[in-house]
Amino acid sequence: MQSFGGTWTLLKLDIIGKYLAFYTNALKNQKFKLCYIDAFAGSGDIDVRGFGNIPGSALRAIDYPFDKYIFIENDNNYARKLSEAIKNKRFDKDISIIPGDCNELLETIYSVSWYKNRWRGVIFLDPYAMDLKWASLEAIAKTKAFDVWYLFPLSALNRVLQKRGNIPKKNKSKINDLLGTTEWEKEIYYESPQLALFGEQEIERISIDGIKKFVIQRLKMVFPAVSEKSLVLRNPLNRSPLFLLCFAISNDSKTAIKLSLKAADHILTHTELL
């Protein structure tokens, strides 16, 4: 079983669960077939420090009435455990567990025909760190069929964004992949108005709130609608920012956007921060 997380893990699972309940109910009388994709699916159960064993996102999603579930996991051992956990629970549903890197699999998601007109769905992107490439979000956006919950790795990004901007090449390329642009340096760093002691220019970094705005603005360049209510999930012990829970819609129908955004905004603003 995987061991990770804390109160923020419970919070994120609660939010996704509420959205899946809303989504499957809102679309139950529509002509669409419904698909749930968990691209960082995990091993089934999670051992959350201080809370014991709880079902993770994939096992929880199966409780909601989707027509198809796709679980992607790049750790073969975890993928096998997830498969066993599903077998043990004897769910009689259409479930595919795909071992592999979700970035490679999502790259072609818009080119498969099953989603066209007949399918709608929700994708949950729940990486530990900077594992999701921006190109995957672009591919999802092109489907025009999926609502997306993305747990953006604020703390992992924070760690590689050194204060003065002295970032090694390898990390720069990882940030380029994460944010889908090389322009982030211009947005994230700025010259301090105060000159340093010996006159050289000090380079400052924007705040976590600034990074949050930047990420939302980047998502808006790809998706027709993005929630402004993204939640910064913090470590309750020291309040350090860990993740940014974002919501985006790939469907460009005004009615779909209005309905989904209203529900997501409501859930994001009415869920107790632990």
Residue nearest to ligand SAM (CB): 56
CA–CA gap between residue 254 and residue 224 (Å, rounded): 9
Q: If DSSP codes are grouped into helix, strand and coil, which group holds residue 14?
A: helix
For ligand SAM, the closer of residues 105 and 256 by Cβ is 105
- Nearer residue to ligand SAM within complex by CB, 37 or 188: 37
Own/partner long-range contacts of 155-161 (Cβ < 8 Å, ≥24 apart): 155/240, 155/241, 155/242, 155/243, 156/128, 156/129, 156/130, 157/130, 157/211, 158/208, 158/211, 158/241, 160/130, 161/188, 161/205
Q: Which stretch binds ligand SAM (CB under 6 A): 20-28, 35-43, 166-174, 204-212?
A: 35-43
Identify the three-state secondary structure at position 247: strand
* Binding flag, residue 74, ligand SAM (CB under 6 A): yes
Q: In Å, what is the CA distance from 27 to each residue of 120, 174, 224?
A: 9, 38, 20
Which tokens in the block code for residue 82?
A: 């997830």
Options 21-29, 38-46, 195-203, 254-262: segment touching ligand SAM (CB under 6 A) = 38-46
Instruction: Say whether 43 sits in a helix, a strand or coil.
Output: coil
Give residues 115-154 in contact with ligand SAM (rule: CB under 6 A).
126-128, 131
Rounded to a whole number of angstroms, the minimum distance from the CB of residue 204 to ligand SAM is 32
Q: Which stretch binds ligand SAM (CB under 6 A): 26-34, 66-74, 139-147, 221-229?
A: 66-74
Q: Which of 7, 24, 57, 230 binds ligand SAM (CB under 6 A)?
A: 57
Q: How far apart are CA 51 and CA 66, in angstroms?
A: 28
Give the shortest CB-9-to-ligand SAM separation in angstroms. Answer: 7
56 vs 251, beta carbon nearer ligand SAM: 56
Please state the closest distance from residue 68 (CB atom) to ligand SAM, in A.
18
Between 171 and 204, whose beta carbon lies closer to ligand SAM?
Answer: 171
Number of residues that bind ligand SAM (CB under 6 A): 19
Q: How far is the CB of 196 from ligand SAM (least distance, A)?
A: 40
DSSP for 60-106?
A: HHTTS--SEEEEEES-HHHHHHHHHHHHHHT--S-EEEEES-HHHHH
Interface positions, 226-245, toward ligand SAM (CB under 6 A): none
Report how far Cα 259 is from the mean position of its chain's Cα atoms: 20
Backbone phi and psi for residue 46, each to the nearest 5 degrees, phi listed first: -125, 140
101 lies in the site for ligand SAM, by CB under 6 A: yes
Report the residue from 8, 73, 144, 174 that binds ligand SAM according to the rule CB under 6 A.
Answer: 73
Interacting residue ranges for ligand SAM, rule: CB under 6 A: 2, 40-42, 46, 56-57, 72-75, 78, 101-103, 126-128, 131
